[in-house]
Amino acid sequence: MLWIKAFHIVFVTSWFAGLFYLPRLFVNHAMVNDPATHDRLSMMEYKLFRFMTPLALLALIFGLWLWLGYGFSGGWMHAKLTLVLGLVIYHWYCGKLLKEFQAGRNSRSHIWYRWFNEIPVLILLAVVILVVVKPF
């Protein structure tokens, strides 16, 4: 099970790297007016999203494997799984935003994306506290 836990941590860390960087690309993309930069950022966003989606799936698969091995107990686990669901929804929404940028239909400002960019940071903080401290 330690191997499973190690792989889960690696894939979660890699997924979070993408979740931190993709919205940051959106911040830059929202400030761009020239077509060449728009196309370059769209390509970067697409490649990153395409790479981070399998990482998310692997993180979830190894997390499920851990859950099946260790069991499901404690309120902290319920809270963690709720946050993980929120993270999956966030990931999906990033894909939706990516399609809007690619189609030239972004309607949000770079300031909105700066705030949006903080969501995975807060989720990571909460999940780490729940897993390490197990407050309930």
What are the CA-CA distances from residue 67 to residues 1, 8, 77 (Å)? Answer: 10, 11, 9
Domain ranges of the chain: 2-133
Tokens (6 digits) for 30: 């929202």
Share of the chain above pLDDT 90, in %: 95
121 backbone dihedrals φ, ψ, rounded to 5°: -65, -45
Mean per-residue pLDDT over the chain, rounded? 96
92-129 pLDDT per residue, tens: 999 999 999 999 999 999 999 999 999 999 999 999 99
18-31 pLDDT per residue, tens: 999 999 999 999 99
The pTM for the full model equals 0.95
Which residue stretches of the chain are H helix? 2-30, 35-70, 75-102, 110-116, 119-133
Q: What is the arithmetic mean of pLDDT over 46-53? A: 98
The predicted structure's pLDDT at residue 72: 77
Assign 50 a pLDDT band (cuts: 50, 70, 90): very high
Tokens (6 digits) for 134: 């197990």
Q: What is the DSSP letter of 103?
A: T
Q: What is the arithmetic mean of pLDDT over 10-14? A: 98
